[in-house]
Copies of this chain bind each other. A is one copy, B any other.
Amino acid sequence: MAAPQQFFSYVDGNAGSFIQRLAKAVAIPSVSGDGSSRKHVFAMAEFLAHEMEALGIQVNSVDLGNHVLDGEELPLPPVILGSFGHDPKKKIILVYGHYDVQPALVSDGWDTDPFVLSPDEKTGRMYGRGASDDKGPLLGWLNVLEAHIKSNIELPVNLRFCFEGMEESGSEGLDELINSRVGPGEFFDGVDCVCISDNYWLNDRTPCVTYGLRGIAYYKVQVSGPQRDLHSGVFGNTVHEPMTDLIHLLGQLVSTKGEIKIPGISSLVAPVTADEMKRYEVLDYTVADIEHSAGAQVAISDNKTRVLMGRMREPSLSIHGIEGAFSAPGAKTVIPARVSGKFSIRLVPNMTPENVDILVFRYLQEEFAKLGTKSALKIENLHGGKPWLADPNHWNYRAAIKATETVYKKTPDLTREGGSIPVTLTFAEALGVNVLLLPMGRGDDGAHSTNEKLDRSNYIEGTKLLGSYLHEVGIISKS
């Protein structure tokens, strides 16, 4: 049976109190990337644990030890593990969320205090740091549980919660924790599938479920020559200049049309199936949406499928900048002695940081040799992560699609995303189960930007969506 009507009624009837819960959470500036806010991240963990315990969840706040941030040793915020239900006849659903947020200052350009949830009655938008990323979705799960308890509806699944406080700062310690708790009798033992609500619809109209993420391989290419920076008047046209060499090298990486020039990359990319191709064609997302979101008419093609595939299932190569060169305003006449180009490649199946590394290193070395310079080359892989792809025909996805149709009266877009959410891959690999990304917010929420918001309707209907999803999973377990 799908989610009962009392559940929906309770959510509608208690929207105000749910928004109050979100307001309390937004009021705690749990910025993980700024050492001076660390106490607020801990306060947020306590607030959450308290809310969870009040709902009858067994809570275990796991201490992850210390780490060093900007030279300062700091305690890591705990990972909050929670359990609700131990019925062997029901599936065990693991939900993940994070209670830390990105930094936010009024002086960055916020129109309201970022740490006061500020609803705009006319548009229904509720502004505040973390409203959409990821406090709204995380509290959505608590709202669902409250609705069931207060309405005396039996929860159709066993729930496990994994809420972390360092997601915006590299999820330090999380992978180790997960991998240490997967054995028999451990916290993650027996989980049937995972649901993560920490992404967004493609647009502001159509809900989606997401079954893929790109990986990344990030490179630093250093070219060095003189022992120290030189004056271009004195040394121009007498020595090999590392900047000239680096610019030539970076120019061999990718065409202005986005084609990666590194031999062997394209043959690593899994071919498109007809089934997959159709998914891009039906997505409610246009070239105009991409350009609206970039703020300018700069799409790499007029062909919607080409553009969407460029984001979702093709690799990309972006040159981010150069370290060690003159980067300030003004006109300095320096020949920099040592410059490092930074670029990264977004990975898709069947690319891995390892098989891409081999191609990148070999190509850069070959192209550098062609330059005939006396400068020296050094290549480093700064970090890497594999792409993730789930089977969108799995029951976990079928449940999410059904729930979306129930709540939004619309078939959700079936999407893959261009960025990375590393924990997705960790869960998939450590638990060996299907992982689903089920977003609450819209594409224009501005996570990580100024004036982050969550629409009231997304919060309330999103809470219904999460609850309905559990019931759809429950139906499958019983059938």
A298 and B233 contact, CB distance less than 8 A: no
Given A374-B298, A375-B298, CB of A319 within 8 Å of CB of B241 = yes
* Interfacial chain B residues near A238, Cβ < 8 Å: 290, 299-300, 307-308, 310-311, 316, 418
Q: A199–B375 Cα gap in the complex (Å)?
A: 29
A318 within 8 A of B: yes
Contact partner, A294, options B214, B227, B255, B346, Cβ 8 Å: B227
A334 within 8 A of B: yes
Minimum C-beta distance from A296 to chain B (A): 5
* Interfacial chain B residues near A251, Cβ < 8 Å: 247-248, 250-251
B321 and A382 contact, CB distance less than 8 A: no
CB-CB contacts below 8 Å: A253-283 with B: 254-258
Minimum C-beta distance from A302 to chain B (A): 11
Apart from the given pairs A214-B233, A232-B320, A298-B375, 9 other A-B contacts in the complex at a CB distance below 8 Å? A235-B290, A236-B310, A238-B307, A238-B308, A239-B299, A240-B258, A244-B254, A323-B329, A326-B342
Q: A297–B336 Cα gap in the complex (Å)?
A: 16
Chosen A-B contacts, 5 in total, with CB atoms closer than 8 Å, are A226-B298, A236-B310, A238-B290, A239-B294, A298-B374
CB-CB contacts below 8 Å: A295-344 with B: 295-300, 307-308, 310-311, 314-323, 325-336, 342, 344
Minimum C-beta distance from A366 to chain B (A): 15
Minimum C-beta distance from A331 to chain B (A): 4
A419 within 8 A of B: yes
A86 within 8 A of B: no
A58 within 8 A of B: no
B373 and A237 contact, CB distance less than 8 A: no
B314 and A320 contact, CB distance less than 8 A: no
Q: Give the interface centre of A228, A232, A238, A327 by most chain B CB atoms within 10 Å.
A: A238
B320 and A372 contact, CB distance less than 8 A: no
Q: A325–B339 Cα gap in the complex (Å)?
A: 13
A3 within 8 A of B: no
Residue of B nearest to A372 (CB): B256
* Interfacial chain B residues near A299, Cβ < 8 Å: 238-240, 374
B320 and A236 contact, CB distance less than 8 A: no
A225 within 8 A of B: yes
Given A294-B239, A375-B298, CB of A333 within 8 Å of CB of B318 = yes
A298 and B256 contact, CB distance less than 8 A: no
A320 and B310 contact, CB distance less than 8 A: no
* Interfacial chain B residues near A254, Cβ < 8 Å: 244
* Interfacial chain B residues near A307, Cβ < 8 Å: 238
* Interfacial chain B residues near A317, Cβ < 8 Å: 236-237
Q: A228–B293 Cα gap in the complex (Å)?
A: 10
B234 and A319 contact, CB distance less than 8 A: no
* Interfacial chain B residues near A62, Cβ < 8 Å: none
A237 and B346 contact, CB distance less than 8 A: yes
Q: A325–B250 Cα gap in the complex (Å)?
A: 14
Residue of B nearest to A219 (CB): B331
A209 within 8 A of B: no
A476 within 8 A of B: no
A344 and B297 contact, CB distance less than 8 A: no
* Interfacial chain B residues near A418, Cβ < 8 Å: 233-238
* Interfacial chain B residues near A315, Cβ < 8 Å: 237
Residue of B nearest to A334 (CB): B320
